Amino acid sequence: MTQLIERLSDGLTNGFVYALIALALVVVFKASSTVNFAQAEMALFTTYVAWWMTTRGISIWLALLAACVVGFIIGAAIERTLVRPAEKRGEMPTLLILVALFTAINAIDGLIWGLEYHSMDGLFPAGLDDYVSVASARIYYEDIGVWAAAIIALAVCFMVINKTRLGLLMRAAADNPASAALSGINVGKVYTFGWGSAAVIGSIAGILIAPISPHQLSMATMFPVLIYGSAAAIIGGLNSLGGAVVGGLTLGLAESLITGYVGFIGPQLHQTTALAVMVIVLLVRPTGIFGSRRLERV
């Protein structure tokens, strides 16, 4: 029982972070119909920015804010200067650009911040005694904080997308760009905003995971997050925001329970399980669990 609760708590924490990255991928996919392979590396960059600020004595909350601003600018700039010109040449050039960007950002991180591991302050109290006991299992404030922060971030995203004028324009531009433009929507601007927002979501995910990641803050911090996050987005259907969240939480919990209870898989094989789950889902439902076939009637 104790182990189960601790496993679930662990799984939820990772799951929420995967959900955030998956959500960022879906927001980009809805804008540009492409999977941004560089999403997690962009998040790693802004996480480094936040870490660097904390080493200069700036509070982690201010650093989080700064990382979000930097993230927005980088995301928007990448869309405007790299992705949009590439899109005019087709899907393949766009994918290549994004893979190149993945490598480039990773290399830049290494150049600027070095290859060693850094320990990073968390947003939440992380002392040895900062936990609540549930049936003799310990649930750390750190974990509860990650859940709360992720839930707030997700709720804000859903609010913006479904309840605001800006969200309406985003949904219109994603549904039918040509038709949205004929209604007076500057679709390019909306896409730029989408990429910027996705990078903000990614920055939050990076800053939540780095303090508690086994890789601490290093070049490897975001690899598992990218793998699980993209798997979550694909399982969720790539164009469903709710699907991204469900996918992320499912994978986080599955990872934690499988590593804990299925002896032979252990910590080495568990990233393969993410891919296995993804392949199985896609075999059963090629559009993902929540992916929609377009409704069309003419």
Please give the residue ranges that form the binding site for other proteins (CB under 8 A).
Answer: 165, 168-169, 171-172, 175-176, 178-187, 292, 294-298
In the complex, least distance from residue 253 CB atom to other proteins, rounded to whole angstroms: 29
Query: 187 vs 209, which CB is nearer to other proteins?
Result: 187
Residues in the chain: 298
Query: 148 vs 160, which CB is nearer to other proteins?
Result: 160
In the complex, least distance from residue 215 CB atom to other proteins, rounded to whole angstroms: 39
Angle at 34 between CA 33 and CA 40, to 5 degrees: 135
Query: 153 vs 174, which CB is nearer to other proteins?
Result: 174
Query: 133 vs 186, which CB is nearer to other proteins?
Result: 186
In the complex, least distance from residue 80 CB atom to other proteins, rounded to whole angstroms: 15
Query: 3 vs 186, which CB is nearer to other proteins?
Result: 186
Q: Which of 218, 227, 225 is nearest to 114 (CA)?
A: 218
In the complex, least distance from residue 166 CB atom to other proteins, rounded to whole angstroms: 10
Q: How far apart are CA 228 and CA 248, in angstroms?
A: 7
In the complex, least distance from residue 231 CB atom to other proteins, rounded to whole angstroms: 24
In the complex, least distance from residue 280 CB atom to other proteins, rounded to whole angstroms: 27
Query: 179 vs 272, which CB is nearer to other proteins?
Result: 179
